[in-house]
Amino acid sequence: MGDLVLRTAEPRELGAVLRFWGGAAENASRPADTPAAVAALHLRDPDALILAVDGDEIVGTVIAGWDGWRCHLYRLAVAPSRRRTGIGRALLAAAEQRCRALGGIRIDAMVLDDNEAAHAIWAAHGYHRQDDWSRWVKPL
């Protein structure tokens, strides 16, 4: 992994994060993230957005959210050219460490059902699909 650094995002990087997600994250089934939404996340919890950075290049992300009760993972994404190199594993470890430090005792992850390529990394790290729940959504 060379010069890979894991750290929280800085405000000046939020636009680059959105561009990164455009090429590295699954986006087809939902509305695109907006600069305002990412800025609101960063303002509310600046440590939630964890980046994997190689030099000046963002090569991975994960959002490790904490609502005071449960921990939630979103937007685990790795640059397509850097997949299967340990970046996803490192991001998950950093996210889990953050959640433990906050007092979390349970963590969940948002994973698209048809993103079969992502299922392997989640399963390899002890996550499993919860069969008795479905996510219900309503756009505001």
Written as tens digits, the pLDDT of the chain (140 aa) is 568 999 999 999 999 999 999 989 876 666 778 999 999 999 999 999 999 999 999 999 999 999 998 999 999 999 999 999 999 999 999 999 999 999 999 999 988 888 888 888 888 888 988 888 877 877 77
Residue type, 81: S
Instruction: Specify whether the CB–CB gap between 50 and 91 falls below 8 A.
Output: yes
1, 10, 47, 135 from 108: Cα distances, Å: 27, 25, 18, 12
Provide the pLDDT for residue 107: 93
Provide the pLDDT for residue 110: 84
Provide the pLDDT for residue 118: 84
What is the CATH class of 4-124? alpha beta
Q: Which pTM was predicted?
A: 0.90
Provide the pLDDT for residue 28: 66
Provide the pLDDT for residue 13: 97
